[in-house]
Structure 1
Amino acid sequence: MLTPATPPDTLRDAQFGRLRSLLAEVLPGSRFLARKLAGVRPDDLRGPADLARLPFTTKPELAADQAEHPPYGSALSFPIERYSRLHQTSGTSTGRPLRWLDTPESWEAVLRCWQVSFPVMGLSPADRVFFPFSFGPFIGFWSAFEAASRYGALVLPGGGMPSTARLRFLIEHEATVVFATPTYALHLAELAAKERIDLAGSSVRMLVVAGEPGGTIPATRRRIEEVWGARVFDHYGMTEIGPVAVEAVDTPGEMILLESEYLCEILTPDGTDPVPDGEYGELVLTNLGRTGSPLVRYRTGDLVRLATTPDPAGRTWRRLAGGILGRADDMIHVRGNNLYPAAIEAIVRRFPTVAEYRIHVDHTGPLADLRIEVEPADGHDGPALAESVGRAVRDELLFRVEVTPAACGSLPRFELKARRLVHHK
């Protein structure tokens, strides 16, 4: 069994052995992979240099395939009768969600990722794990919920109730771990303050956040930890790939790649060359165990940087310094300046009186314009807050941005992935 301490040479040999076995199993049934990998023999894939023989897979390509072969596309490895689970993406980047199916065997591979992650995070079978979200088709917390139950923890479902009821449920059942998006963790804290519920004094000792940036944005992370009085652990995954990386208890601000289940490449933005450790690049992933509809050399669009310092626990799996640093397609070009939404969040979240915010990018003129709405917490001065945020953005990003106040309670709150970036065309 591969563990985080498996020697690198043993890990690499095992990874490529699993890749050869996976392709030999799924190529006969997957029309999608058979077309993409025509002429490639699984036995020829022996090491990292051989990956260049495999073409990339992209999300727009998957979306086009599902549109051409509805409803599930041609990437299924087996007849539809073998599949037992359906999940789908949020659809925020492609305009329509990707639908993803799993067989019982490939679902086990997803759960195995969480089973590896829990001890790395320090989650114990003695924990009481609360999932305050509606059980729709979003995969992340479904898989964590089932995996935590198998791990031996007491799992507490929070679907089908309003947020205030979820807070009381959390307190009554003495939850010790909460899974949520960073946005929803902050929204629950906002409601708790209004309801005079002392989250910082509750039994919650850790929050596992996923689904959007925030867990490794220092200002957002500090704010969540302060209002909850608990440690934040960031987690990264994708519906179409699975759970990929997790923060370890002894490496705050970094995430460990689950290299027992994925071949992970960090490539230049054009996808041509690996980048040296410590430099920025795009994360490219290949499934090793999710046989139901595996992806080969999947371009995630997520920008990362490998840590270069030794792992304090002697683990050999590589680590992402700062977690997910941004998305290549989220870059905003405004008057000759290039920035990512995470850079704005890192500034806005320093202000504890910002209850919520939203970014508007106006493309209707010859040059794009950027405007930020900030909603003050109850009882605070919106115009003064907007002026302070605008000054901080100007001082740090070195250009002027219009910042306007929003009325208390006017900006949307999100239970799952937040949509704070609005483009006007």
Structure 2
Amino acid sequence: MFTQYDPDSAALTAELRDQFDSFTAGRWDAEFLASHQNQKLREVLAYARANSPFYRKKLSGLTDEHMAGLRVDDLRSLPYTTKEDLRQAQFDILSQPIAKAWIFYETTGTTGAATPCPRTNADTIHNNSALTAYYRDVLAVHGDRQVIGVSGPTELHATGDTFGDVCRNLGHSVAKMWPHSPVIGFDRALEVMRLLPITGLFCTPGMAMRLAQKAVEAGLDPRRDFSLDVLMLTGELMSPSLLDNIGVLWGAEARNALYASQEASVLAAATSDGSLRTVPLINHYEVIEPETLAPVEPDADGVRYGELVVTNLYMGAKPLIRYRTGDLVRMTDPAPGAAVRAPALEVVGRVRDQLLLNGTLVNGYDLEDLLLRRFRGYHDYRITVSRDELGKDLLTLTLKADPDSHRDGIEQAAGECLVALDTPLTVEFGDPGPITSTGAMVSWKAARVVDLRKAPSGEDSSAERIAATRV
């Protein structure tokens, strides 16, 4: 409705709606998409160089003649943008002053200096148009009379505004409720979920498990006493094993809904075929080897595994050019029958969150999936890494669950871990504590892994401080 009061925004909304409708219907071939990306890349480069103090210096060697003929295949000739660049540049990274934005967000600042992430109307319309187009079929199977809960932070954070706007576009009611807020709390959040009732919920995996545990503590059955049809999960590492467990807890469909960041906005979203898919209309994607920075070629299965680099293809408050996300991904080109003709993306954890276990380097996604594969119905988990007197690495999985109902999986889990990682696994039962709720604020590793082989990091300390406020 707002856009009707702003002719430029109204025109952009209509243009993007038509583009995404056409793209998701499969009417864009590779040549047409490449032409679109090439044109948008040139526009963004000229825009950022002219308006951003940071990019004016960073792209000073890029001439008008070079830019006029630049294609996305030529991006390797341009420098990367890193997280450290954002921390140091601060407001100089922006291509528009704050007064031109409609809202101001920032990163959490728990792992370094907070960086500004304002959104102009163009930012919001581009990103929310993508989510609206991708989520339409995902949510449609659950009917057109849905009440969607959004359990995420709202202060200086995009979660509530983004999902609220997208659900509004799709005709669904929204209730924004952040259980960690002193105004709401878990008891009131659960009461609202039953009262309305909430049929869909956007939240982190940790929040979904915490809500289920709080419901059980209140004498409620999450499967019987609530009306959830679908959980749209985001904000944390999410392996298939964890996703399936959350679906079991609530008796609902659990989806990996979104890969995004405050800095780079929407990078991939859920589609009706169950995949998380990139959004090539508004971003260009590269996969590089994080040590050598060499481009990664597809393996025999067509999968590119490495660090994701993204370039925004729209002129908002803060377009990023060749931004190194620091995240490891598996990217696979769409197969025939894909719901959207865009590469599927598995986000498998941060580069620096990988663990070396008895000579095998494993990412968080694969480790979580392996250790949790044989267990369902738990409300929380944590992993401890230790080393015996002979120098062999050991793993301990702590599950918040009824031990008697999970005994059968222990031997299988230990055997699979030994085969895959040459690492013994012990499974224990107990409460990992509130630190596991900090994953979206800090990192999966800080929230989920206790590595006794090394001294605590700054991120570990940040997670402890946040957890202390949530006891």
Name the TM tier (shorter chain): 0.7 to 0.9
Q: Out of 291, 307, 312, which is 2:316 matched to?
A: 291
Match of 1:53 in 2: 77
Aligned with residue 95 of structure 1, among 112, 136, 158: 112
The match for 1:142 among 142, 150, 161 is 161
Further displaced range: 102-111 or 293-302:
102-111
- Give ranges in structure 2 of 5+ residues lacking alignment: 1-18, 456-471
Give, as a single letter, the amino acid of the residue that structure 1 aligns with 2:194.
Answer: I
Q: What TM-score does the superposition give when structure 1 sets the normalisation length?
A: 0.85
Q: Could you tell me how far 1:337 is from its partner in structure 2?
A: 2.6
Contact residue 212 and residue 379 of structure 2 kept, 8 A? no
* Stretch deviating more after TM superposition (78-87 or 40-49): 40-49
Instruction: Give the Cα–Cα distance (whole angstroms) in 1 for the partners of residues 148 and 284 of structure 2.
Output: 30
Stretch deviating more after TM superposition (414-423 or 297-306): 414-423
C-alpha RMSD of matched pairs (Å): 3.1
* Letter of the 1:258 counterpart: V
1:85-164 equivalent positions in 2, closer than 5 A: 85-91=103-109, 94-123=111-140, 126-159=145-178, 160-164=183-187
Matched, 1:173 2:196: yes
Q: Which runs of 4+ in 1 moved over 6 A?
A: 365-368, 381-388
Q: CA deviation at 1:301?
A: 2.2
After superposition, the Cα gap between the structure-2 partners of 1:324 and 1:141, relative to the gap in structure 1 and judged at 3 Å, is farther
Identity percentage of aligned residues: 24
Q: 1:115 and 1:376, CA in 2 relative to 1: closer, same or farther beyond 3 A?
A: closer
The aligned counterpart of 1:69 is none
Whether contact under 8 Å (1:334, 1:367) holds in the other structure is no
CA separation of 1:383 and 1:307: change in aligned 2, threshold 3 A? closer
Aligned equivalents of 2:41, 2:297: Cα separation in 1: 23
SS at match of 1:77: coil
Q: What SS does the corresponding residue of 2:347 show, helix, strand or coil?
A: coil
Q: Which has the higher helix share?
A: 2
After superposition, the C-alpha distances for 1:328-363 in whole angstroms (9 at most, x for unaligned) are 221112342312222332234332364423334579
Q: Which residue of 1 aligns with 2:102?
A: 84
| Partners of 1:184 and 1:413 within 8 A in 2 | no
Q: Is the 8 A contact 1:129 1:155 kept in 2?
A: yes
Structure 1: any 5+ residue segments left out of the alignment? 67-72
Instruction: Provide the C-alpha distance between the structure 2 equivalents of 1:140 and 1:305, rounded to a whole number of angstroms.
Output: 25
In the alignment, what sits opposite 2:60? 38
Structure 1 residue 404, shift from structure 2 partner:
7.1
Q: Aligned partners of 2:392 and 2:321: how far apart in 1?
A: 36
Paired residues for 1:310-321 under 5 Å: 310-313=335-338, 315-320=340-345
Using the TM superposition, give the Cα deviation of residue 265 of structure 1 relative to its aligned residue in structure 2, in angstroms: 1.8
- How far, CA to CA, are the matches of 1:385 and 1:409 in structure 2? 19
Q: Aligned partners of 2:241 and 2:75: how far apart in 1? A: 38
Q: Assess, with a 3 A threshold, how the Cα gap between structure 1 residues 90 and 45 changes in structure 2: closer, same or farther.
A: farther
1:126–1:376 CA distance, 2 compared to 1 (3 A): closer
In the TM superposition, what is the alpha-carbon distance from 1:314 to its structure 2 partner? 6.4
- Aligned counterpart, 1:343: 366
Q: How does 1:351-390 map to 2 (within 5 A)?
A: 351-352=375-376, 354-360=378-384, 371-372=395-396, 374-377=398-401
| Matches of 1:185 and 1:314, distance apart in 2 | 26
Q: Distance in 1 between matches of 2:122 and 2:276?
A: 26
Residues 23-71 of structure 1: per-residue CA shift (max 9 Å, x gap): 32332220111111112146335423221221111112222323xxxxx
CA shift in 2, pair 1:144/1:243, >3 Å = same
1:420 paired residue number: 448
State the TM-score, normalized to the length of structure 2: 0.77
Report the CA distance between 1:169 and its aligned residue.
0.9
User: In the alignment, which residue of structure 2 is the partner of 1:203?
Assistant: 227
What secondary structure sits across from 2:435 in the alignment? coil
Whole-angstrom CA distance in 2 between matches of 1:228 and 1:389: 24
The amino acid of 1:267's aligned partner reads I
Counterpart of 1:284, as a letter, is: V
CA distance in 2, matches of 1:45, 1:408: 58
Structure 1 partner of 2:30 = 8
Contact 1:109 1:290 in 2 (8 A): no
Distance (Å, rounded) in 2 between the aligned partners of 1:195 and 1:305: 40
How far apart, in 2, do the equivalents of 1:368 and 1:35 lie? Answer: 49
One-letter amino acid of the counterpart of residue 449, structure 2: L
Q: Which residue of 1 aligns with 2:463?
A: none
Residue number in structure 1 paired with 2:8: none
Match of 2:4 in 1: none
C-alpha separation in 1, matches of 2:339 and 2:176:
36
Change (3 A) 1:279 1:79: closer
